[in-house]
Structure 1
């Protein structure tokens, strides 16, 4: 098929140098992704290549430029996410994702889903009282759950946020660790704090903890409680046993939401103990009002190499027939 050439204008008011990237690095990303050639002249871009590729490239470039004109920051990570979105779910646009932004005044950028699965995740949390987010590290399942919790708390939809995480290695030894319960469990809740501090100033977080608007609740100490008027996050749920998962889910009270996140490929339970996150998928799969969302490497929003690392491990752990070889299992 003979190549075509198409020239189109970028929106007025955007910083062309920033959009094109240093030494036109961003343009090279588009060229590599779509197999086209791009040349820039002022606010105009000319794309050369197969017609279908040129049309696809123009669509993504136009959407990103439009978002930048609306005030959004467009960097390499946004460009790579937009390219992945177009290739994996062409029926969803960047505008669809941005429309679900969370106005929580993050100190960094506006928080919005970066993939189709993240979009469905936020929509599920809004629509259901119990949502499971299952998938590999870096897919945004914990970060977006925290963003939703903060969003609802600031709207006064709930009275408090409760952060729960199994302390697998601590168990009964928690009592021997120094400090109060928050200090004992703090190392295990660090990822939740990281997400929280990314959205709210540290001083404000500390005040909210003092006022018990944000509460730290080790999973082992949840028994007997009823969690009313709360947004509850159970993180690293793959390290909850079947009994602990049942105990946690039956704590949920009136006017509460629970988001349970975990990665079933990173289970740290002692040998012989079954992960409650694995079993709960079969136990609760047909209950209305409970939603399961699954993430994969396409949803990774960390460094681009993390996607490649996840795919490489999946190839290693699931060769040909989808199962690790006998030699691997016995190693």
Structure 2
């Protein structure tokens, strides 16, 4: 399997590294191991994982600073992707808004450049489409950043196929980032994955391991720390947890037969969905990073695909992927 793939005109590693969990959401905020997180980023670069994905709202703001520190003296080795568009309150981190105005985007980019300590961002992504701002305005502002030499490429996140086509007419879109995995097939069902392929746009699959669930590491709801984001996710609660755990056990069985881990099988399945698909599993530990990179050596045959589909068909996962309020912000 090729070790690099295309995001529009850009060559990136076939598997990227999501950096969000190094700063927030998964696990206790007071238990962060910055040294291990930075070592994980350095190890990723050593292994040829060039694509690093962050966002201003992770932390908030602290994840970009962490990635910036990790890239000192190594900037030339990385394809650096960050995002703007989700606005969080400094007083209450749970309060979030969406802003896609030209003025906001340009200010947010300047702030990200400073936190990352770089002169240019390789891929600047709009985290969510602002329902109050035409996508043409948002993309035009991002195009201005490309012309100014502050950004190399433009990406969108959680966007509909129709909005993507409108955006692509304003300026070439390099990538779309959306959740995609065995248990989240929305990009297949709503035509986004096919539209990306048609238009020559790369697809960044975030949470390709189902927020860790597809790894098989979690057996009980109580395995998640008290302040772990997943405790509020419908798929990790009550009967949904039990039903989804049964699906994972079946995936583990197929993985065992292939001589790989459940994580590697799930990532290899995502990679098999198209040459334009680049999964960006998140981890803050080197050992899991190395396991994820091993998925590049796992080949999904047509027989494997049928076996996986038989035990884990589209729509099999129990529960929505986000709480109701967050679901309302998707697919602009």
Q: Scaled by the length of structure 2, what TM-score is found? A: 0.30
The normalised TM-score by structure 1 is 0.30
* Greater gyration radius: 1
Instruction: Indicate the structure whose relative CO is greater, using CA pairs within 8 Å and at least 6 residues apart.
Output: 2
